[in-house]
């Protein structure tokens, strides 16, 4: 007997302080090993999600940007992982198993970014 497929939806929630965003970037989410060559990322079999942020490079040129930075505002994004998980055998397991599977195997990489400050990804 196999476990019923999870009724839950699975997401990666990103929180990025506005002050940390100095140029446009893309976050790639993988389940398992990340390909070494960045040109292989978009076609990787284990790619489960992508998030792209378009941003200007000079907050001094943007009054709204300066206000958001001064207020400590964060940019939030949610990337759904459920469709990619449904393509794997793992989705037929219990919610606890999927949660642990993501904690053990979810990897992410950032492409084209020059900040090294606070960046949080939570599995929801």
- Predicted TM-score of the model (pTM): 0.74
What is the distance between the alpha carbons of residues 77 and 60, in angstroms, rounded to a whole number?
A: 24
Q: Tell me what the mean pLDDT of segment 15-23 comes to.
A: 79
**Placement of tokens 């939030």 in the chain:** 76
Tokens of 115: 């900040």
Q: Using 50, 70 and 90 to split pLDDT, how confident is the model at 21? A: confident
Residues 33-77 have pLDDT tens digits of 999 998 899 999 999 999 988 776 666 777 887 888 888 888 888
- Domains of the chain: which residue ranges? 11-123
User: What does the pLDDT read at residue 57?
Assistant: 61
What is the distance between the alpha carbons of residues 92 and 42, in angstroms, rounded to a whole number?
A: 25
């Amino acid at each position: 007997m196999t476990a019923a497929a999870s009724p839950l939806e699975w997401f990666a929630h990103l929180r990025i302080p506005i002050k940390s965003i100095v140029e446009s970037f893309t976050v790639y989410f993988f389940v398992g090993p990340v390909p070494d060559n960045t040109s292989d990322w978009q076609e990787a079999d284990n790619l489960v999600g992508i998030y792209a942020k378009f941003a200007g490079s000079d907050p001094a040129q943007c009054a709204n940007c300066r206000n958001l930075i001064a207020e400590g505002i964060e940019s939030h994004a949610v990337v759904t992982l459920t469709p990619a998980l449904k393509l794997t055998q793992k989705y037929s397991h219990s919610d606890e198993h999927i949660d642990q599977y993501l904690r053990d195997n979810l990897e992410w990489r950032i492409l084209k970014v020059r900040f090294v400050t606070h960046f949080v990804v939570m599995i929801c």
